[in-house]
A and B are shown apart, each in its own frame.
Chain A
Amino acid sequence: MTQDGDGLRDSSMEGSELHRRLTAIWSTPSGLWGALSTVDHKIIGRRYVTTAFVFLALGGVLSLLIRLQLAQPEARFIGPDRYNQIFTMHGTNMMFLFAVPVMQAMAIYLVPLMVGTRNIAFPRLNAFSYWVYLAGGLLLWIAFAVDTGPDVGWFAYVPLAGPEYGAGKRADIWAQMITFTEVSALAVAVEIVVTVFKQRAPGMSLDRIPLFVWSMLVTSFLVIMAMPAIMVASSSLILDRLVGTHFFNPAEGGDVLLWQHLFWFFGHPEVYIIFLPAVGMVSTIVATFTRRPVFGYLGMVMALIATGVLAFGLWVHHMFVAGLPRLGESFFTASSMAIAVPAGLQIFCWLATMWAGRPVFKTPFLFVIGFMVIFVIGGLTGVMVASVPFDTQVHDTYFVVAHFHYVLVGGAVFPLLGAVYYWFPKFTGRMMSETLGRWIFGLIFTGFNLTFFPMHILGLQGMPRRIYTYQPEMPWSGLNLFISLSAVILALGFLLFFVDAIRSARSGSLAPANPWGARTLEWATSSPPPPYNFARLPVVDRLDPLSDDIEAVPVASGLRVDRRELLTSSVVHASPEAREASPGDSIWPLWAALASTLMLIWSIFSPWAVVWGSIPLAITLIGWFWPKGVPEDEA
């Protein structure tokens, strides 16, 4: 044990003594106050994942209502007004409350563990981001429950969403929910960038970063660059609706196409914000279950970054029928075609890894194989709709609905489900059922394809999206009934998944520290990890640090054990630079989130809310940053 003028260090401390001291410093107090004030990335990550899956279940129920309505022509189960709210809620919920948050949530939990640090950067901001996200989700769903749910589609085109046609507060709810979720996403993105750049374990140079961490780093940059566009758009929409500005009103010099440009400048990268984390998950699972590192690490990193940048040059392919010059549109076709190169490279790298490895077909790997099949189909139809003449024909039809479900569910949800099976032992210390997992994969894979593949045909037959019913003379009723019946199979698969997850979390078999024989750092600690993650920070000397015995991983020492402390390192080589305090638990992020919620909801009704609402927000921020005289306040 070392005690110097700079605090108590861990250098010569024994295992049990070290564990006792670190637990005392890093653990979250029990009880409600502890739960509300925790800044432990693992607790917040679990909370985020759970909340996102609750939203997935709610969005799934909405999709079943849609399918029930469309199962037969001229159905009267749901009226047109409620139907408009339901499809808007389904899309909005799935994109903003499930897909993006759940990917970031996985990163909140896993990235600090995978880079070998003790907590995420800016942990209080992390707590704040969760509360703001939860408030945004509650706002949307409570509004829907009281018949004020948005009814303008998940991309809320003007003038439909503008003051001329969007009466009431429905579009405002949508626009302000965007602010909540994007503030939350931006906060998490900043935390992840800083964690990856500055808190990596000593020796984890850029060429030794796990691919999931690379994917989250690129995703975070996408969030930082794309989300401001939609926040500007939604705030401008609220201003048009509440204050009487004319950003989107052509009669007063505004421009409706400005909305489409702003929305899709965010909206297309959004697809990759959802897909790139899945690439990281797939790479991790493929490496583990083929018992070899992913083939072409350099190519995979290149593909992640190239995809991330190219994602910003595709947005106009959502606007091919908006009347822009064909030549200008063709530039976006070019980039849309070009992005198939890094995407294809990734697929071939995974196939080569499987070819050269010894695949073990456990449930997580089955979901990865399902992902490859479905995503390749979605990618092929993506190349089809990237072509202006074809897109002009199928725009706003069920072909597009089929395409984006293949890309998003195939490209993100399948890898995510695989990732849940893969990392469940890390999150909970318990295994999910392998038998049930295989059934769940079979039901979801079959149900998904039977549900969504026929939608391509419906689209080619001319069925538009977002219609609440159709006439019996149209040639769509047979396929619609088939799709609705198939959706029951898909729903049954998800129901079983939730049953398995809840059952396993309570009474699943206990997991060993590294149940899959994986080689990334999160498995170098117990499952679930202790509050401090690693008793001594690992030192990385290769791409797959656990390829030998876990006990043989070299460690660093010298950190203080009388305050929350972690190591900061250089960006390129991850050479240790400084010992840095990590903030302790605090209730102020919750108060700040409540003050933000008050201001944002109030501002739907009065522009003065921004003025008066900023006072409680300022008070909470002062409380947040006011020095408390604790060791963590020291430099």
Chain B
Amino acid sequence: MTKTWLRHIGLLLPLAAWGLSTQLGQVTPYLDCRQNVSWTAIFCGLLIVFAIAGIVVSRVGLQGLGKTGRFVVDTGFLIALAFLFALALQGTAAMVLDPCQR
């Protein structure tokens, strides 16, 4: 049961991290500008770590999975990579753009 849950976390965590990052990206630029601290980049970095952790965890314990089970986990893994890419782009934007610019 635990293993099954861990396998699918690879699909869930990067997606959740991306969703959260997208939402935070609408809030934290105001803080960044006011406090002169790059909260946006910090949060983005943390969420990238979470996403990578999720992907790594999902790759353990694949032995004994049937063809369909493997298909589900592999699809989740590929989807997770796409979202990790989106997160990386967001992180890059957070580092290069002026948060006060409108």
Contact = CB atoms under 8 A, between A and B. Distances in A.
Contacts of A331: 21-22, 25-26, 90, 93
A327 B25 contact: yes
A302 B77 CA distance: 9
A313 interface: yes
Nearest to A315: B22
Interface residues of B, number: 36
B101 A302 contact: no
Given A207-B67, A301-B75, A330 B97 contact: yes
Contacts of A342: 82
B30 A334 contact: no
B40 A327 contact: yes
Nearest to B77: A302
Contacts of A324: 26, 102
B30 A325 contact: yes
Contact of A327 (B32, B69, B85): B32
A338 B99 contact: no
B75 A302 contact: yes
B92 to A, nearest CB: 8
B79 A309 contact: yes
Interface string A308-330: 01101100100000011111101
The CB with the most chain A CB atoms within 10 A, among B18, B32, B86, is that of B86
A517 interface: no
Contact of B82 (A302, A323, A573): A302
Nearest to A574: B68
For the residues of B in contact with A, the DSSP-based class is: helix
B10 interface: no
A486 to B, nearest CB: 38
Contacts, number: 100
Nearest to A207: B71
Interface in B11-66: 15, 18-19, 21-22, 25-26, 29-30, 32-33, 40
Given A205-B68, A334-B93, A338-B86, A305 B75 contact: yes
A302 B25 CA distance: 26
Q: Report, as a range, how many residues of chain A touch the other chain.
A: 20 to 34
A366 B27 CA distance: 48
B99 A327 contact: yes
Contact of B97 (A326, A332, A572): A326
Interface in B69-101: 69, 71-72, 74-75, 78-79, 82-83, 85-86, 89-90, 92-94, 97-101
A510 interface: no
For the residues of A in contact with B, the DSSP-based class is: helix
A173 to B, nearest CB: 33
Contacts of B33: 325
Given A305-B75, A309-B15, A325 B21 contact: no
A573 B98 CA distance: 51
Nearest to B86: A338
Given A326-B101, A326-B102, A573-B68, A310 B29 contact: no
B71 A327 contact: no
B85 A313 contact: no
Nearest to B91: A334
Contacts of A301: 75
Contacts of A326: 97-98, 101-102
A457 interface: no
The CB with the most chain A CB atoms within 10 A, among B29, B82, B102, is that of B82
A306 B79 contact: yes
A207 B85 contact: no
B86 A335 contact: yes
A508 to B, nearest CB: 40
B16 to A, nearest CB: 10
Interface in A388-436: none
A305 B32 CA distance: 33
Contacts of A450: none
Contacts of A298: 71, 74-75, 78
Contacts of A306: 78-79, 82-83
Given A313-B18, A328-B29, A206 B72 contact: yes
A299 interface: yes
A334 B86 contact: yes
Nearest to A313: B22
Contacts of B22: 313, 331-332, 335
23 contacts: A205-B67, A206-B72, A298-B71, A298-B74, A306-B82, A306-B83, A309-B15, A310-B82, A313-B19, A313-B22, A324-B102, A325-B29, A325-B100, A327-B40, A327-B93, A327-B99, A330-B90, A331-B22, A334-B92, A335-B86, A337-B89, A341-B85, A572-B72
Interface of A: 205-207, 298-299, 301-302, 305-306, 309-310, 312-313, 316, 323-328, 330-335, 337-338, 341-342, 572-573
Given A298-B71, A327-B94, A333-B89, 20 more contacts: A205-B68, A298-B75, A302-B75, A305-B75, A306-B79, A312-B19, A313-B22, A313-B86, A325-B30, A327-B93, A327-B98, A327-B99, A328-B25, A330-B93, A330-B94, A331-B90, A331-B93, A333-B93, A338-B83, A341-B82
Interface of B: 15, 18-19, 21-22, 25-26, 29-30, 32-33, 40, 67-69, 71-72, 74-75, 78-79, 82-83, 85-86, 89-90, 92-94, 97-102
